[in-house]
A and B are shown apart, each in its own frame.
Chain A
Amino acid sequence: MLTRLLGLLALSAAAVFTLAPDPARAEPLRIVIDDPTIEPLPFAVPSFQPESGEAGQLAVDISRVVSEDLTGTGLFREIPASAYISTVSDFNAPVEYADWKAINAQALIAGAVNVTGNSVNVKFRVYDVFSGEELVDANGQGGLQFSGTVDGWRRMAHKVADAVYSRITGEGGYFDSRVVYVSETGPKDDRQKRLAIMDYDGANLKYLTESGSIVLAPRFSPDGNRVLYTSYESGFPRIYVLDIGSVQRRALESAEGTMSFAPRFSPSGQTVVYSLSQGGNTDIYTMDINSGQSVRLTNTPAIETAPSFSPDGSQIVFESDRSGSQQLYIMPATGGEATRISFGEGRYGTPVWSPRGDLIAFTKQNKGRFHIGVMRTDGSEERLLTASFLDEGPTWAPNGRVIMFARETQGAGGSSSLYSVDISGRNLKPVRTPEGGSDPSWSPLQN
């Protein structure tokens, strides 16, 4: 009975996951990301139509960024323009589905760009070529348009790509987002560090601090406008909050003779959870970011650090060596009894709660290797996504599907750089930065 049931489940799963270009299929165009045997979905994105004289180059550039976003996920494959039989010459004209079927483009993205002064308007539609229908979002909405400034044109492209990704995968997008990280230069014994912010794909990079003092582990506020980080600029590690727009910073309250580090915002943005080290002992505290009032959440002789809130703000996951080695624990956001969730071989650190709430990403050390992994919030279904000499510090894409982290190479000439990987373990790839990088923090989707 059980066997028959499993057989049925496997059969129906196979049916849902199949992406063969079958003109007769009834299912809408859909990538199920968790399918382990996924093949990239072929799509075409002819250069968007310029609808004003100045829009020509932008129309080309925007369609290129849309394509790079989609292909960068590893879930999509672009059919080159050289293979096109026909093209989209008018955004409002009917689509010649047969011409796109013939080159096996399963999705067709058509768009138009209008520039007026410093304003840019981008319209787009996505078509399911084999069913001959326009793809709509969860609300039945078909074509969409976005407006912004000419300087911010890449964001328009990312918004289009996010919408396409969402319609085809059923997941939220993550392209219209930014990453703040520690930019690194110099050898290991003279490493210079400064905070940098960039678009998720490495574009529009800007430095936020000078490299005169050590800076560590920047973390975005829930609204994406501020960053918490640790700096040694006072001579001792202290937590600072920096406004990204004005690049103004201030130190949070801290007592003489203590070190504070490893800060993260609560989902409300009003509270900071962090580690405070005093007399050799490190515990977890929260602080009201406006009043500076702090509350101690843990009180053991062990090292408690790397705290991260659940997305609903009710719990905190953190690491502690109270058992004798680094392990992961969850406690109520107000402190109290903690439950250990990591039980595998090795040591576990730097837990980060997924924005979807379902998973916790972590760094694992075992037998001289480092791994980035994920587990359910009860510690079950642990999966390691990477392995190297030193991988550390995962951060979640806003949709909870992709993780960015830092990889340091071995030896005297070792350096650190940023990588991303899908939570399926697929699509491991470097993130483009002009210098070395560590401690990435991925922003929420921008508004």
Chain B
Amino acid sequence: MKRILTSTLLISALAVSACTNPDRFGADGMGGAGANAGAGANAGIVPGSANDPTSTAYFQQAVGDRVLFMVDQSTLTDAGRATLDGQVAWLQTNSDYQAVIEGHADEQGTREYNIALGGRRANAVREYMISKGISASRLKTISYGKERPIEICSEEACYAKNRRAVTVLAGGALTS
């Protein structure tokens, strides 16, 4: 009984995190036309859900919408490049989408510097994607500096998650 309860809790926790994990400030591209583009492609898959490989939810959760950085660095890590390779493949398949890459910093830094640092991080992601064949015209960048942390503790465990660049899908067929 206890085991069942634990499993249920675990599953619901996963479901909740699946909903809240995407950066709340960067989720503007969710829904949209891209969700419908996959309708009927595979029977039994709810269009727009994380099971629909053409959906933004799939991009956020299965592909991975973010890469993390070391302290004060904008160099992509091996893990980051692997995530971006997945993003590039997805964007090549789903060519209706554009993306805004949001650069972020942790709170250990002055405000202006962190905006500039977030700009460096977002640009590192953009340049990598362009080098892998994504058209520059599909990729915009913005930095939020330290203004939009997703984790709020003042410890490295939180800082590590806040030093990020998030690829936020936009438009899809709507803007074309």
Task: Give B28's nearest chain A residue, CB to CB.
Answer: A235
Question: With the chains together, A257 CA to B122 CA distance in Å?
Answer: 12
A303 touches B142 (CB 8 A): no
Known: A216-B111, A349-B110. Is A277-B154 also a contact (CB below 8 A)?
A: no
CA–CA, A321 and B113, complex, Å: 9
Q: Among B119, B126, B141, which residue has the most Cβ atoms of chain A within 10 A? A: B119
Is there a chain B Cβ closer than 8 Å to A189's Cβ? yes
Q: Type the 1/0 row for A280-308, where 1 means its CB is closer than 8 Å to any CB of B.
A: 11100000000000000000000101100
Cβ of A326 < 8 Å from any Cβ of B?
yes
| Given A237-B142, A280-B120: 10 more A-B contacts, CB < 8 Å | A261-B112, A275-B115, A280-B122, A303-B116, A306-B110, A306-B113, A349-B110, A349-B112, A350-B110, A350-B112
A352 to chain B, nearest CB (A): 12
- A277 and B152: CB pair below 8 A? no
Assuming the A-B contacts A237-B143, A303-B113, are A412 and B123 also in contact, with contact meaning beta carbons closer than 8 angstroms in the complex?
no
List the 6 closest pairs (A to B, CB-CB), nearest first: A280-B123, A282-B116, A349-B110, A303-B116, A188-B152, A277-B119
In this complex, how many residues of chain A approach chain B with their Cβ under 8 Å: the count is: 42
Contact stretch, chosen from A5-13, A154-162, A388-396: A388-396
CB distance from B73 to the nearest CB of A (A): 12
Q: Which residues of A contact B117 (CB under 8 A)?
A: 303
Identify A280's interface contact among B112, B119, B147, CB under 8 A.
B119
| B150 interfacial by beta-carbon distance below 8 Å | yes
- Asked whether A84 is an interface residue with its Cβ less than 8 Å from the other chain, the reply is no
A-B contact pairs, 20 of them (CB 8 A): A188-B152, A214-B147, A216-B147, A235-B142, A275-B115, A277-B116, A281-B119, A281-B120, A282-B115, A282-B116, A282-B120, A305-B112, A305-B116, A319-B110, A363-B110, A365-B110, A368-B108, A390-B108, A408-B107, A412-B153
The reply on A206 being an interface residue by CB < 8 A is no
Q: Which of A371-419 contact B (CB under 8 A)?
A: 389-390, 392-393, 408, 410-412, 414
Does residue A344 face the partner (Cβ distance < 8 Å to B)? Answer: no
Q: Count the B residues whose beta carbon is within 8 Å of the partner chain — how many?
A: 31
List the A side residues contacting B149 at CB < 8 Å: 188-189
CA distance A412 to B126 in the complex (A): 31
Q: Which residues of A contact B (CB under 8 A)?
A: 187-189, 191, 214, 216-217, 232, 235-237, 257, 259, 261-262, 275, 277, 279-282, 303, 305-306, 319, 321, 326, 349-350, 363, 365, 368, 389-390, 392-393, 408, 410-412, 414, 439
B140 within 8 A of A: yes
Q: Which of B112, B119, B153 contacts A411 (CB 8 A)?
A: B153
The answer to whether A262 touches B154 (Cβ under 8 A) is: no
- CB–CB A275/B116 < 8 A: yes
In the complex, number of A-B residue pairs with CB atoms less than 8 Å apart:
101
Within 8 Å by CB of A259, from B107, B142, B150, B151, lies B142
- Residues of chain A contacted by B112 (CB below 8 angstroms): 217, 261-262, 275, 305-306, 319, 349-350
Q: In the complex, what residue of chain A is closest to B109 when comparing beta carbons?
A: A365
Say whether B124 faces chain A, with CB atoms less than 8 Å apart. Answer: yes
Task: Give the distance in Å from the alpha carbon of A368 to the alpha carbon of B156 in the complex.
Answer: 12
Complex Cα distance, B114 from A303, in Å, reads 10
For residue B115, which residue of chain A has the nearest CB?
A261
CA distance A202 to B153 in the complex (A): 30
Q: Which A residues are CB-close (under 8 A) to B151? A: 189
Q: With A187-B152, A189-B149, A389-B154 known to touch, is A279 a contact of B107 (CB < 8 Å)?
A: no
List the B side residues contacting A365 at CB < 8 Å: 108-110
> Which residue of the partner chain, among B120, B127, B150, contacts A189 with CB atoms under 8 Å?
B150
Q: How far is the CB of A275 from chain B (nearest CB, A)?
A: 7
Could you tell me the distance in whole angstroms from the C-beta of A31 to the nearest C-beta in chain B? 34
Shortest Cβ distance from residue B115 to the other chain A in the assembled complex, whole angstroms: 6
- Judge whether B115 and A237 touch: CB under 8 Å: yes
Q: In the complex the two chains form, is A280's CB within 8 Å of B74's CB?
A: yes
**Within the complex, which residue of A188, A257, A414, A439 is in contact with B111, where a contact is CB–CB below 8 Å?**
A439
Which chain B residues border A410 with CB–CB below 8 Å? 154
Report chain B residues within 8 Å CB of A191: 147
Residues on B with C-beta less than 8 A from A235 are: 142
B residues within 8 A CB of A262?
112, 115
Complex Cα–Cα for A191 and B148 (A): 8
Q: Is B143 touching A259 in the complex (CB atoms < 8 A)?
A: yes
Question: Which residues of B sit under 8 angstroms from A217, Cβ to Cβ?
Answer: 111-112
B143 touches A414 (CB 8 A): no
Query: Which residues from B are CB-within-8-Å of A349?
Result: 109-110, 112-113
Chain A nearest CB, measured from B163 CB (Å): 15
Across the interface, name the chain B residue whose C-beta is closest to A368.
B108
Contact residues in A for B147 (Cβ distance below 8 Å)? 191, 214, 216
**How many whole Å from A318's CB to the nearest CB in chain B?**
10
Interface centre among A282, A321, A363 (most CB of B within 10 A): A282
Tell me whether A303 and B120 are in contact in the complex, defined as CB-CB below 8 angstroms, given that A349-B112, A390-B107, A392-B110 are known contacts.
Answer: yes
Chain A CB within 10 Å, residue with most, of B113, B141, B151? B113
